[in-house]
A and B are shown apart, each in its own frame.
Chain A
Amino acid sequence: MIRFLSFLFLLALPAAAEEIVADMSQTRVSITANFDGSEILIFGAVSRQAAAPEGELGVIITVEGPSEPITVRKKNKAYGIWINTEALEVDSAPAFYAVATSGPMDQILSGTEDLRYKVSIEKAIRAVGVAGSVEDVAGFLDALIRVRTNNDLYQLREGGVRVSENTLFDTSFKLPSNLVEGDYRTRIFLTRDGAVVDNFETSIAVSKVGLEKFLYGLAHEQPLIYALLSLVIAIAAGWMASAFFRYIRS
């Protein structure tokens, strides 16, 4: 009975005025031996039942790699040399995070919506309960974003989403070559005057294939065999080079 009532309740809700319809060029990224980064095209349209409502339209697309806890260390001068003196443990930070927007972030997304959906890079990093371990927590988090941005692991491209006719949108993301495996959560947000009207979520599966997968698996499941294999290869290579050079000289 309750289920039936809630079903009726759902039916009674008005359909969202604007909805996202989207797709991307690929939903799998295979890391092969000669993997050198990948480019993913994401495109879509805003579907409307009625005329477009008032307010400024915004489209924000994020791609987020697997998260893990990390340590950010800071060097200070002590006893005349530079050594790591301070460290901040961050609960969880994505290994990769890219944001592309159709306009300036602060214009198309309000602060409260950012907090709710964790859209910006700052919000994607989860650092609760870290205060107290170091004095300047903000400085450490800024440094984390700066270092990863320099390595193309964090990307913020304001104006990177192209919107045409207030309906069609598209963008492309460059996944760098130093990518880790995992499901890359991809989200698309549609905003009107800074408020999220609709969001769409899918994922890109990034995985090693072939030789890469075999070596990684062997190293973790049969470490001793892997170690011996490494040594056999090393010894064999050493012996072959020696034999080859002796053959040339004789």
Chain B
Amino acid sequence: MHIYLPIAEVSVNAFLLLGLGGLVGILSGMFGVGGGFILTPLLFFIGIPPAVAVATQANQIVASSFSGVLAHLARRTVDLKMGFILLIGGLAGAGIGVQVFNILKAKGQVDLLVQLCYVIFLGIIGLLMFIESWNAIRRAKAGAPPPKRTKRGWAQTMPFKARFRTSGLYISVIPPILVGFLVGFLSAIMGVGGGFIMVPAMIYMLGMPTKVVIGTSLFQIIFVTAFSTILHAVTNQTVDLMLAVLLLVGGVIGAQFGTQIGTRMKAEQLRILLALMVIVVCGKLALDLLLMPSELYSIASAGGN
């Protein structure tokens, strides 16, 4: 069944969109990522104009993240206090990120910058996570006790310490604000919720337990993506409600299943799967840059980008 999207002005198969939304929803619930870094390229591929795809997937991520957060709240795996502190840094970072984005856009080549950002960050994060979780799985098989984290020292020497009961941490609030700021900044430039940066940052930089990380990441993604949905809708009129509804119906259902799958898996397995997925997307984007495209030319309306 085909459906005409009023803002994108193309007609696409409704079941395809439901399926795509569902797939991304499962990933969202499992790993605590918004899924924007996978959904956006997929939407380009089925012929949605890039500006509409970027803006609309932000709205769909609000829905799947909200659905996922409710499931995590029921399991008490959301550190609300940490979430709010990350959010303070995140919104500040996003605000500055949008300014930087506009400056770069005026100079042209912003597409290339976004692509390079994707390849570099996805590559680094995916590889680091893969190595770490691979080692963790090998240790678990060998029966050796996991090594004590040594990185926590720097977060404890700073002032403004606070107790994060859900995460079982007693650390300074400065590192979470800095992490939030960095993620907010990058997500504004790359046009994603930032879950794939936030999740590893919380695990490796803040030392939070993986189970809590996912719910907390989803919690702050809701606000960041809601903010960018409003921004896109008001400034560019590129949010396609019809497209969003189809994606999010699939997305919210997928997110529930994803949460179920996630709670049944071991933390190391979850991390290694996310790492593999990030590496695959990174590889695909890198190939796009390296291989000669089949069509060298592209057409854009002069007003948009």
Binding site for B on A (CB under 8 A): 31-37, 68-77, 80-84, 89, 140, 143-144, 146-148, 177-181, 208, 211-213, 215-216, 219-220, 223-224, 226-231, 233-235, 237-243, 245-246
CB < 8 Å neighbour of A68 from B69, B248, B252, B301: B301
* Total number of B residues with any Cβ neighbor in A under 8 Å: 59
Within 8 A of A (CB), among B231-251: 232-234, 237, 239, 241-242, 244-245, 248-249
Question: B256 near A241 (CB under 8 angstroms)?
Answer: yes
Question: B299 near A229 (CB under 8 angstroms)?
Answer: no
Question: A80 near B252 (CB under 8 angstroms)?
Answer: no
CB < 8 Å neighbour of B63 from A216, A219, A234: A234
Question: B47 near A178 (CB under 8 angstroms)?
Answer: yes
Question: B241 near A226 (CB under 8 angstroms)?
Answer: yes
Question: A70 near B301 (CB under 8 angstroms)?
Answer: yes
The docked-state distance in angstroms from the alpha carbon of A106 to that of B70 is 67
Residues of B within 8 A of A89 (CB): 302
Query: 7 smallest A-B Cβ distances: which pairs?
Result: A238-B66, A177-B11, A241-B252, A227-B233, A143-B297, A242-B70, A234-B63
Question: B63 near A238 (CB under 8 angstroms)?
Answer: yes
Interface centre among A75, A82, A177, A237 (most CB of B within 10 A): A237
Known: A70-B301, A215-B7. 11 other contacts (CB 8 A): A35-B2, A35-B4, A73-B300, A75-B296, A143-B295, A177-B11, A226-B237, A227-B239, A234-B244, A235-B66, A237-B67
Question: B64 near A238 (CB under 8 angstroms)?
Answer: yes
The docked-state distance in angstroms from the alpha carbon of A237 to that of B2 is 22
Interface centre among B62, B63, B292 (most CB of A within 10 A): B63
Residue of A with least CB distance to B9: A180
Chain B 2-17 against A: per-residue CB contact (8 Å), 1 yes, 0 no?
Answer: 1110110111000000
Residue of A with least CB distance to B302: A69
The docked-state distance in angstroms from the alpha carbon of A81 to that of B297 is 15
Residues of B within 8 A of A179 (CB): 9
Q: Assess A235 versus B62: contact at CB under 8 Å? Given A81-B290, A83-B112, A84-B298.
A: yes
